[in-house]
Amino acid sequence: MPLNSVNTNAGAMVALQSLNRTSDELTATQKRISTGYRVADAKDDGAAFAVAERVRGEVAATTSANEQLGGAKGLLDVTQASLENVSKSLSKLKEVAVKLADGTITAEQRTQYQSQAKELTNNIQSFIKDATYNGTNVLNDPATLANKVVRNGAGDTYTFNGSKAATNIFNAVSGANAWTRGDASAALTKTGALGKAITSTLTTMNNFGSYSNYVDSQITYNKSKIDAQEGGLGALVDADLAKESAKLQSLQIRQQLGTQALSIANQAPQTLLSLFR
């Protein structure tokens, strides 16, 4: 190829190729800076992008599972609060039952104590009925004896059992307002109505405490897992902005020099005119 030609300018071709490469690199660097990602889409790195999308899906699924566990935690917390108030009311009812078991009280006093017992059993019934969260009551609804909640992003579930508190606790003491001395004495025994109600309440509280601890632990674990996944995801696709900033300045200078080099190369054929003067 002739070195002195107006048809083919080799210098300009080389300068243009270099300028195009610089422009491509500059575009890629600006994309990383604007998005914050080294791998923003499959064009940047198909394999890394595929892995990143899978991890993002796992993070989203685990986050969703934690949201469901949060609902279960709310239900269990409400249930625990209800049982604590039932337990306190049963303790007060036991105090009243002791007085009803006393054969030396007057008929008027017995009536007053029976009235107190009635109020306490009404409270117990209310606490059980009001233990509702998002429309679910695991103390008063026989249909909710087995409750399943999603515990992780894979869709695995955790099952906790409800309790027939209305039957096992309230019904046992619902007639306390009519207890005679003998009824009250019998109710106070370990196998009596009040004794069974207290035992059932404490057992149920222990069970729901265990359920609540499990849910809290699972939520904490899921959060730790999400943090680890996001850390790995960042290492895979995030851009080093300090590095990209330095590279941007370098490429901008190269682009300016490349433009000047192309301008000089384009002027080379003009020198051939001097040969014809």
Per-residue confidence of the chain (277 residues) as pLDDT tens digits?
456 666 677 777 888 888 888 888 887 788 888 888 888 888 888 999 999 999 999 999 999 999 999 999 999 999 999 999 999 999 999 999 999 999 899 999 999 999 999 999 999 999 999 999 998 999 986 666 788 999 999 999 999 999 989 888 999 999 999 999 999 999 999 999 999 999 999 999 999 999 999 999 999 999 999 999 999 999 888 888 888 788 878 888 888 888 888 787 777 777 777 777 6
**pLDDT given at position 250:** 84
Q: How many other CB atoms are found less than 10 A from the CB of residue 13?
A: 12
Contacts of 68 (CB under 8 A, 6+ apart): 149, 150
Within this chain, do residues 231 and 124 fall inside the same structural domain, yes or no?
A: yes
Distances (CA, A) of 14 to 2, 8, 99: 16, 12, 107
**228 within domain boundaries:** yes
Distances (CA, A) of 105 to 108, 147, 154: 8, 48, 64
**272 within domain boundaries:** yes
Q: Which residue has the tokens 């490429």?
A: 251
Q: What is the pLDDT of residues 145-180, one digit of tens each?
A: 788 999 999 999 999 999 989 888 999 999 999 999
User: In this structure, what token pair is assigned to residue 155?
Assistant: 């869709």
Within this chain, do residues 164 and 80 fall inside the same structural domain, yes or no?
A: yes
User: In this structure, what token pair is assigned to residue 62?
Assistant: 């685990």
**122 within domain boundaries:** yes
**263 within domain boundaries:** yes
**170 within domain boundaries:** yes
Judge whether 138 and 146 are in contact, CB under 8 Å: no
Within this chain, do residues 66 and 116 fall inside the same structural domain, yes or no?
A: yes
CATH number of the domain that residue 155 is part of: 1.20.1330.10
**pLDDT given at position 60:** 95
**Residue numbers of the domain that contains 212:** 47-236
Within this chain, do residues 84 and 103 fall inside the same structural domain, yes or no?
A: yes
Q: Which residue has the tokens 């080294």?
A: 38
Total domains present in the chain: 2
DSSP state of 130: T
Within this chain, do residues 93 and 190 fall inside the same structural domain, yes or no?
A: yes
Within this chain, do residues 14 and 65 fall inside the same structural domain, yes or no?
A: no
Q: Which long-range contacts does 182-188 make (Cβ < 8 Å, 24+ apart)?
A: 183/100, 184/97, 184/98, 184/100, 184/101, 185/101, 187/97, 188/94, 188/97, 188/98, 188/101
pTM of the predicted model as reported, rounded to 2 decimal places: 0.77
Distances (CA, A) of 32 to 25, 39, 89, 150, 230: 11, 8, 64, 37, 19
User: In this structure, what token pair is assigned to residue 207?
Assistant: 């069970």
